[in-house]
Chains A and B, each alone.
Chain A
Amino acid sequence: MTDTLLSFKDVEIVYKVGNMSIRATTGASFDVPRGAIVGLVGESGCGKTTLARAVTRVIADNAHIAHGQILFDGIDLVSLSDRDMNALRWRDIAFIPQSAMNSLDPVYTVEYQLHEVLRGRGGLSRIDARKRSKELFELVGIETNRLSDFPHQFSGGMRQRVAIALALALNPKLIIADEPVTALDVIVQRQILDQLRDLQQKLGISVILVTHDISVVAYICDRTVVMYAGQVMESSDTRAVLNEPYHPYTMGLKNAFPDIKSAGTGLLTPIEGSPPDLANPPPGCRFAPRCPFAEAICRAENPQPREIQPQHIVACHRSQEALQLRTEASKYETWQQIP
């Protein structure tokens, strides 16, 4: 019986662009268990970052959460007052951005930016903040004498460690990591991911890891949520999602990425076509136009998410035939014959 820290319930986020409404996410539901790393994976523009950012409620000016709940420790963040929401920020919910270069203020030293959080948000004294800053730098493996350096004086990997240190500063319950390693080279990626997992396990933090890279998910995540065009297509244990996918999109996604463990023996198979226009989505399943297995019902009716195995949720009309589809999907030709 896992204890749930965060729970998305039917979340819909709408962007207003001109006089158009664009639903960045619709009916998004999934849980983040306590002490687990949940991977949120999908192509760029699928709404994964928007959904993750919604937890902090710092989203674009033209976006708003139109529907649903985000339960954090049983509290609905969507209906929380600004004041109460702000109290949770960083103390309970921290964030690791994609590019630490741009997310650290260039005109202040790293120590200043740590102190800003430790003293301003954590209420620590100057002396305690100094001690804690050193502690945090040791934790992420940076020499403490570099605290007085400016962000631009660090290398890319180091900056990402600084960002992790910042996120850990107030012992949060949840960290949202938005493509935390995408900008780094593969070797540094692995170091940062290892460290993130170490610290997460040691400190018992829950992590939402947003990424487009399924190999990162495979490497580090306990659970995986696959998103496509603003909707959750499949979510389960990472092992189950990767080894026994029920959704054709997950199958396709797996084919399109090299395996981080078995260094790329198979052929990479791209999914043909591009995601639908969210301002004007197709009537049925959103993946249907690119799906090699799409049938009449798929184009007519949007499949509802169903629990196909315990803790394994899939939104596909043909999930019953998954066994057969998996065999088909592993063939290169299958993906070439999309109408």
Chain B
Amino acid sequence: MLKLVSNGIRSGFRSLRLPVGDPFAVAGLAIYATFLLAAIFADYIAPFDPTEILYSKDFTLAADLPPGTDGHILGTTSLGRDIFSQIVFGTRSALLVGASAAFMVALIGSIVGLLSGYFGGWVDIVLMRLADIAFGIPFLPFVIVLAAFLEPSIWNVVFAMALVLWRDTARVIRSQVLTLRSRGYVEAARVCGSSDLKIIWRHITPNILPLSFLYGSIAIGWAILTEASISFLGFGDPEAISWGYMLQDAFASQALSRQAYYWFVPPGVAIILVVSAGFFISRGYEAILFPKLDR
């Protein structure tokens, strides 16, 4: 009976084309789920306000407390803020940036790839030259310049990624569309007089969707890493608590020379977990997409 239920769930996931067969992918999904819950219930999980400057019972600044003192699970920063609470709230900006950037990159990349591959001709030439140009733009410097000019906000990273990183997805989707287009059933639909829109929607889009997901899940990691870098360099939103901001704070506050590992190790580990979860899931997708690789 239990097996039946689990099989049912399993096939439910299958129809969503989630890669549940791969143990890594399952681990990745589990990590995502954990962080998602942390982001949603951050107010309940975090014992302190992450931006509040805390004082000890004797009314001195609760600065640089080692982990475990006075209910500070991971200790406090030099300004007397609770590190654990910052980690929990940092989940929000990480997932927000990651998910929206991934969505933008996958969406723009897929649309460009579809149009370029399906219509060919001058549409293809123009779009692919644009992709060449996007490949010529050094991404991180571009984000830095953009973030410096615009109002500090976590959306700068999303914006910059949408402007530049669609290129990788677009190229891959394009070549996939090119092979799909020459398949028998697409040819047949065309001969039967189906409209371009209908062919794209009915026959091509469903087949490139897993590929879009693959590039989307990789883009989540990229976005989080980029946001962390930008915040670390001081071009982030000082209002938003993010893991990159925490690392900048620690770096600027000499946490390294003071061996305050409890301060700068946890944000890094959190980033690694979320980003590698994306990789693990994308590996699962790869197994679905390229079954010949076996693993």
Q: Please determine if A and B sit in direct contact within the complex, based on CB atoms under 8 angstroms apart.
A: no
